[in-house]
Structure 1
Amino acid sequence: MRRPSSVEVMLLVTIGLWSLNLTVSRYILTHGFLPLAYATVRYGFAVLVFVVLTLVLERSLRIRRADLGIVAAAAAFVYLNQIGFVYALDRSSASVLGLILGATPIFAALAGLLLGTESLPSRFWAGALCSFAGVALVALGAGGALSGDLGGVLLGVLTAATWAGYSMLVTPLMRRYSATRISAVVLGAAWVPIALTGLPQLSDQDWHLGWEVWALFVFATLGPLVLTNELWFRSLDRIGPARATLAANLQPFLAAAIAVVLLSEKLDALELAGGVLIAAGILVARRRRVTAPPSE
């Protein structure tokens, strides 16, 4: 029996931690942490860890001037991603958001098309339509059930789309910088607008949340944010964003299953059917021809 490759192990660990993070973050947000306060403190903690690691290992945070535009664009995607993520979890459920994030590979391919790194045949568009139909079913189910609302679903779509765009943007940077340095610089640049947006909630936040919430907060930062950023970037460098995001097909159902078991969330038939359509659309689109990014 073939042993899994190092890239496969990195992706499996990443997907497992991301899936668990939806449940952990949902629990944190429903036990006293305000959404923007959570994003601000969590990303501030993560940036501090990345900066310290980079300075210890590389003794420099320097980015070439020619790459600052990419860094700024990637930071903007991270900012939008975090706003979408915390409010999607606040307004919807971890299981619903997990299903919606299954459409991330479709958004990654569309981002690649815009950047000129993807060639998308007709079967991709058939798969994309199937996946978007699945998202629509999830939205219909969430709108009529206790698991969420339409606004939460739309924020979930924003989360998936911005993460895909972010993954495509940072791939060229992997040729010149380490994953740790990219995370320190890009997440640091994104933290500034996150903190500015979160200032009102930071002033209103009650910090007496209990040791359980703080323990989960530390896990949600060091595991699903710090460790997975390192593993995800290394995977992108080895196999590219299109194949890496396709490997994340397991995440929607794993995240939903974890939320159902640990948070006692419920999914209705429409939401489950939507999740199946999202996965089917990815399977239809997955055989597309992928054009490698131009060498620099």
Structure 2
Amino acid sequence: MNIPARWAYLAVFVGVCGHASSEFFAKLTGVAGPEVSVWRYLIGAAGLLVWSLSRKDTRDLATPLREEWRMLIPLSLLGVSLAYLLFHWSLDFASVIQVATLVTTIPIFVGLINLAVNRTPISTAKIITGVLAVVGIAALLTDGYLDVLSAGGASLWGVLMAILCAALVAGYSVLAKPLMVRHGGMRITTLAISIGAIGLWVGVGIFWGKWVNPISLAEKPSVAIWSLVILGLWNTTITQLLWLGGLASASDMTRASYLFFLKPVIAAGLAIVFLGDSPTWLQLAAIVVVSGSVFFEVLWPQRRIAANPK
């Protein structure tokens, strides 16, 4: 998606709002997590396929699939199918605020996986902020543990699933980057989400016995219909187009990506205003610590440059 440079940061911000509101609309559907993940990616993949096939520069999806299928298919099944199954399933147990905050740790996992796969060193700043992020995660785990003692501990499972989701998405981001360099981010994203949608459809059908029939969408309550459509087209198709297009057009891609760390704040606001969630002090502390630590880490290089301009 070709976005003028002057609108790049706005496009990225709107894309972040799409990421941040996905938990909100997923809860609003009233559909169980495994099933809602299928609906989201079937609709989202359809939207991305229509967009990609309508453009000359992204129309050729056969070439990257033919050349990269050995890498692309397992990556899509793990980084899209399993990751977002866990993401939506976690919302059946944990709160919107918990899940949104934990997903923000993706950059921390990216650093660790980059170290393991590409031997990219982790700076002192990354180590410090990584420790702080772990403290924030511990706050949410403690909140879940207290729930174990008082009400059966369902939120703890949701928190653990959200952490695993973040790790899988980070792994996909690192391993899929070479494919995007060779074939373009839009084509690889379209293929990955389409393959992931098929994987979700089959997986949920086999393990949950829920074979989603797209035609049955019209039979659902009106709130569920428009929530699922928004989740698929807005939170998946349009969000991906704006996010990727904005990052590609931004004069400083890294700085534009910093906007992602507003995600838990936006998600928490939506949950409080529209879903009536009441965040605990531990959840609020986790938002501050996790978002703040990661945001500080990405700003640290600019601080050093400013302090040593020569």
Range moving further from structure 2, 126-135 or 203-212: 203-212
Distance 2:176 2:248 in 1: 10
Kept after mapping to 1: 8 A contact 2:133/2:293: yes
Render the CA deviation track for 1:256-294: whole Å, top value 9, x for unaligned: 11111110011111121122221232144225669xxxx
Distance 1:282 1:148 in 2: 27
Q: Secondary structure at the match of 1:258?
A: helix
Q: Secondary structure at the match of 2:105?
A: helix
Range moving further from structure 2, 8-17 or 241-250: 241-250
2:95 to 84, 93, 96: 93
What is aligned with 2:210? 202
1:40 to 38, 41, 54: 38
Q: Secondary structure at the match of 1:286?
A: helix
**1:60 shift after superposition:** 2.6
**1:175 shift after superposition:** 3.1
Aligned residue runs from structure 1 range 131-170, under 5 A: 131-145=133-147, 149-170=155-176
Distance 1:82 1:8 in 2: 26
Distance 2:6 2:127 in 1: 31
Distance 2:154 2:277 in 1: 11
- C-alpha spacing 1:204/1:225, structure 2 compared with 1 (3 Å): closer
Q: Secondary structure at the match of 1:90?
A: coil
**Number of aligned residue pairs:** 284
- C-alpha spacing 1:49/1:286, structure 2 compared with 1 (3 Å): closer
Kept after mapping to 2: 8 A contact 1:139/1:153: yes
**1:215 shift after superposition:** 0.7
1:108 equivalent to 2:88? Answer: no
Distance 1:160 1:241 in 2: 21
Distance 2:245 2:175 in 1: 14
**1:243 shift after superposition:** 5.3
1:182 to 173, 181, 188: 188
- C-alpha spacing 1:286/1:128, structure 2 compared with 1 (3 Å): same
Range moving further from structure 2, 140-149 or 128-137: 140-149
Kept after mapping to 2: 8 A contact 1:47/1:183: no
What is aligned with 1:233? 244
Distance 2:111 2:246 in 1: 17
Distance 1:144 1:287 in 2: 34
**1:26 shift after superposition:** 1.2
**1:57 shift after superposition:** 1.8
Distance 1:7 1:259 in 2: 27
Distance 2:130 2:277 in 1: 28
- Aligned AA for 2:61? L
1:211 equivalent to 2:228? Answer: no
What is aligned with 2:63? 63
Kept after mapping to 2: 8 A contact 1:118/1:289: no
Range moving further from structure 2, 257-266 or 155-164: 155-164
**1:237 shift after superposition:** 4.4
Kept after mapping to 2: 8 A contact 1:37/1:201: no
Q: Secondary structure at the match of 2:277?
A: coil
What is aligned with 1:247? 259
Distance 2:267 2:291 in 1: 14
- Aligned AA for 2:245? R
Distance 2:39 2:237 in 1: 14
Range moving further from structure 2, 133-142 or 113-122: 113-122
Range moving further from structure 2, 121-130 or 240-249: 240-249
- Aligned AA for 1:34? A
1:21 equivalent to 2:57? Answer: no
CA RMSD of aligned residues (A): 2.9
Distance 1:238 1:115 in 2: 28
- Aligned AA for 1:262? F
**1:112 shift after superposition:** 2.6
What is aligned with 1:79? 81
Kept after mapping to 2: 8 A contact 1:100/1:153: yes
Distance 1:265 1:234 in 2: 33
Kept after mapping to 1: 8 A contact 2:41/2:193: yes
Kept after mapping to 2: 8 A contact 1:11/1:231: yes
2:123 to 121, 124, 127: 121
Unaligned runs of 5+ residues in structure 1 are: 291-296
Render the CA deviation track for 1:109-133: whole Å, top value 9, x for unaligned: 2233234274321121111010011
Range moving further from structure 2, 47-56 or 219-228: 47-56
Distance 1:102 1:93 in 2: 15
Kept after mapping to 2: 8 A contact 1:34/1:201: no
Unaligned runs of 5+ residues in structure 2 are: 303-310
